[in-house]
Amino acid sequence: MTSSPAPSSPAPGAPAHRIAPPTYEWDGFGFDTRQVHVGDTDQHGYQARVAPIYLTAGYRFDSFRQSWDRFTGDEPGQLYSRNLNPTHLVAEQRIASLEGGAGAIVVGSGQAAITSAILGLTGAGEHFVSTASIYSGTQILFNRTFSRLGVAVDYVWDWTDDAEWDALIRPETKAIFTETIPNPKNDIVDIAAVARVAQRHGLPLIVDNTIASPYLTRPIEDGAHIVVHSSTKFLAGHGAGLSGVIVDGGTFDWAAASRPYPGITDAPAPGRPSMLEAYGRHALEAYLRLGIVNDMGPALSPLNSFLLQQGIETLSLRVERHVDNAHRIALWLQEQPEVARVDYAGLPSSPYYEIAQRVYGGRSGSVFAFSLAGGRAAAELFYDSLRVFSRMTNIGDVRSMALHPATTTHVSFTQDIRDRLGIDDGLIRLSIGIETADDLIADLRRAFDAVSEAGL
């Protein structure tokens, strides 16, 4: 079936006019508009409204010369799907726009994003500093795998204490790492305060913004230089595929840095320009894409990239429901007799309440924890009594989920570290989804009733 030809002249009575072309430049448009449109182009002229999935490992070169120029970097363009795929470009441009960055790179998972970003800045014998309250899997990555590579980490337990930062930062320190909303304790971090520490020491600041998402806060606006996400979570939202993303803010002055970043500032070969000379404010993005990500190979499947794009289109709508539900449930939980403590920064009882009000309007995401007064036994019975909440690992899905950190995500941590992090035996982590809040509360109440009836 063929489409009807466009009319060659206006309909009777209609004035002559030009047909407006679609907009493809979205700078200056609102967040909700950009999350739907940025990155869409009609590259091949088929007028497909949804960007296609490019399931290809490689790409043809036009000539001997073009293949040479692509490999040397003299000509930008497709080389191999390990570092660049047309499907990825849509998600990359969209996320960079939402975060306010210069560019972005999608990879196979959030752990791949963190690994690539930090190994792009550090090497054997070097060091970085992180806040202590971060996702358990990230701590395990730092403590187990990075240590085997000779990259050391130290943890700051009180990020408000400048003296603690200053005591840990040394000449071989190459970066600072933190999270906007740590998991599972919702003990939110003032990124602007940590950025001042990074600026004072001349260090790039890497911020994991997975739980907040750019809809709630944008770390680059507060002084961060690099943002990472497990985009499996809120950016995608559907739990159907793994992905991660690194956003280059394009704001760190690599040329003026007092510490060496040779992958960015040194020539890769005699007579060749450095990444900084060739790409300017996109130097880190180019180095990670053509260097670290290309070399280590944490490639994202084009299918999962497509799923990520689809999720981003509804990010703001979903997060609004997530945080509304979470705030209501946190308020309800603190009134329940079986609950000893609720770790949610949006509650006046939280030590992070002031930051939550200032940065998040009191709605500090939808991943938080609470502790049952009956300890481990009560937590086990409560957990096994849930019917609407899914008992599973993951966060940021449209479905509500629950987990017992002490026996799962933090099971390999020493008791001393768990105590310092506040991961007690009665702690349950919740990731609040977008279901009807009354149904979620009824499910929690039913599980509490089981605990009460057992005398726990």
With beta carbons less than 8 A apart as the criterion, state whether 114 and 138 touch.
Answer: yes
pLDDT tens digits along 206-230: 999 999 999 999 999 999 999 999 9
My answer on whether 148 and 265 are in the same domain is: yes
* Cβ neighbourhood burial of 349 (10 Å; 0-12, 13-18, 19+): exposed
Residue 21: inside a domain: no
User: Residue 68: what pLDDT?
Assistant: 92
Number of domains in the chain: 2
Q: Is the pLDDT of residue 4 over 80?
A: no
What residue type is 280 in one-letter code? G
Can you tell me which residue has the tokens 């180095």?
287
Rounded to a whole number of angstroms, the distance between the first and last alpha carbons of the chain is: 69
**Domain end point (choices 282, 312, 342):** 312
User: Residue 8: what pLDDT?
Assistant: 53
User: Residue 46: what pLDDT?
Assistant: 66
Q: Is the pLDDT of residue 44 over 80?
A: no
Residue 58: inside a domain: no
Question: What DSSP state is assigned to residue 406?
Answer: G
User: Residue 14: what pLDDT?
Assistant: 81
Residue 51: inside a domain: no
My answer on whether 272 and 324 are in the same domain is: no
My answer on whether 263 and 369 are in the same domain is: no
pLDDT tens digits along 60-114: 999 999 999 988 888 888 889 998 899 999 999 999 999 999 999 999 999 999 9
What residue type is 310 in one-letter code? Q
Q: How far apart, in whole angstroms, are the C-alpha atoms of residue 101 and residue 246?
A: 10
Residue 1: inside a domain: no
My answer on whether 236 and 252 are in the same domain is: yes
**Domain end point (choices 312, 345, 368):** 312
Which CATH number characterizes residue 215's domain?
3.40.640.10
Mean pLDDT of the chain: 94
CB count within 10 Å of CB 277 equals 13
My answer on whether 360 and 391 are in the same domain is: yes
Phi, psi (degrees; rounded to nearest 5) at 149: -90, 0
Q: How far apart, in whole angstroms, are the C-alpha atoms of residue 175 and residue 123?
A: 11
Can you tell me which residue has the tokens 């609102």?
30
My answer on whether 202 and 351 are in the same domain is: no
Residue 325: inside a domain: yes
Question: In this structure, what token pair is assigned to residue 261?
Answer: 């970043």
User: Residue 52: what pLDDT?
Assistant: 87
Q: How far apart, in whole angstroms, are the C-alpha atoms of residue 92 and residue 105?
A: 6
Question: What DSSP state is assigned to residue 130?
Answer: E
Which CATH number characterizes residue 384's domain?
3.90.1150.10
Q: At 5, is the pLDDT very low, low, confident or very high (cuts 50, 70, 90)?
A: very low
My answer on whether 308 and 363 are in the same domain is: no
Q: Is the pLDDT of residue 322 over 70?
A: yes
pLDDT tens digits along 245-256: 999 999 999 999
With beta carbons less than 8 A apart as the criterion, state whether 259 and 171 touch.
Answer: yes
Phi, psi (degrees; rounded to nearest 5) at 368: -155, 180
Q: Is the pLDDT of residue 295 over 70?
A: yes
User: Residue 11: what pLDDT?
Assistant: 77
My answer on whether 269 and 196 are in the same domain is: yes
Phi, psi (degrees; rounded to nearest 5) at 74: -70, -25
With beta carbons less than 8 A apart as the criterion, state whether 186 and 363 touch.
Answer: no
Question: What DSSP state is assigned to residue 240?
Answer: S
Q: How far apart, in whole angstroms, are the C-alpha atoms of residue 87 and residue 276?
A: 26
Residue 34: inside a domain: no
Question: What DSSP state is assigned to residue 145?
Answer: I
Q: How far apart, in whole angstroms, are the C-alpha atoms of residue 425 and residue 245?
A: 33
My answer on whether 290 and 321 are in the same domain is: no
6-45: burial string, b at 16+ Cβ within 10 Å, e else: eeeeeeeeeeeeeeeeeeeebeeeeeeebbbbbbbeeeee
User: Residue 51: what pLDDT?
Assistant: 86
**Domain end point (choices 254, 281, 312):** 312
Higher pLDDT, 335 or 41: 335
Residue 209: inside a domain: yes
My answer on whether 390 and 404 are in the same domain is: yes
My answer on whether 282 and 333 are in the same domain is: no
Q: CA of 445: how far to CAs of 323, 339, 342, 429, 448, in Å? A: 20, 11, 15, 16, 5
Model-level pTM?
0.94
With beta carbons less than 8 A apart as the criterion, state whether 137 and 111 touch.
Answer: yes
Residue 38: inside a domain: no
With beta carbons less than 8 A apart as the criterion, state whether 249 and 226 touch.
Answer: yes
Question: In this structure, what token pair is assigned to residue 98?
Answer: 């939402």
Mean pLDDT of 163-167: 98
My answer on whether 271 and 332 are in the same domain is: no
* Strand boundaries in 121-211, DSSP class E: 127-131, 152-156, 173-179, 205-208
- Give the structural domain span for 160: 64-312
